[in-house]
Amino acid sequence: MPTTRETVLAALHARLQPLAALTLREEVLPERIPAAGLIILRDGQPGEPEVTLSPLRYHYEHRAELEVIVEAAGNRATAFDALIAEIGTALETDRALGGLCDWVEAEAPASVDLPVEGAVTLKAAVITVVLHYTTTGPLA
């Protein structure tokens, strides 16, 4: 049986699958970026939990990361902005990931241009997604 952590991360990954961009989890950057863009979910860190007693519960603010990359031949800024907006809408549609989380919140992206030798510059950002969930133990 998967842990709560794995179940929540799998639900986040599934939540992003319907987007036009290719969505991967814990993969290396491919050689080619799809025309619709690329999202790579990094599992991140659960951090130190707040603990409540009676009943014993561990409350996490898990910080996962989305690496978002666009290589649009036309206007990269517009394509990038559209993909970021799609991600926001996908997360806002179900902030509890089907009841697995108490709350899901994305932080604002800080975008950068990544130069690629002999190719068009990539527009990229890391978006931290904070997943608030509770478990019965640190390994549950």
- Residue given tokens 């599934």 in the structure block: 14
Domains (range + CATH), the chain: 4-135 (3.30.2000.10)
pLDDT of residue 116: 77
Residues of the chain short of pLDDT 50, as ranges, are none
Evaluate whether 125 touches 84 at the Cβ level (below 8 Å): yes
Condensed to tens digits (0 to 9), the pLDDT of residues 11-49 reads: 999 999 999 999 999 999 898 889 899 999 999 999 999
Q: In the prediction, which pLDDT does 120 show? A: 73
CA dihedral 95, 101, 105, 110 (to 10 degrees): -120
One DSSP character per residue, 52-82 reads ETTTTEEEEEEEEEEEEEE--SS-HHHHHHH
What's the pTM value of the predicted model, to 2 decimals?
0.93
Q: Which pLDDT score is estimated for 75?
A: 82
Q: Provide, for the chain, the percentages of residues in helix, strand and coil under a 3-state DSSP scheme, each rounded to the nearest 5.
A: 20, 35, 40
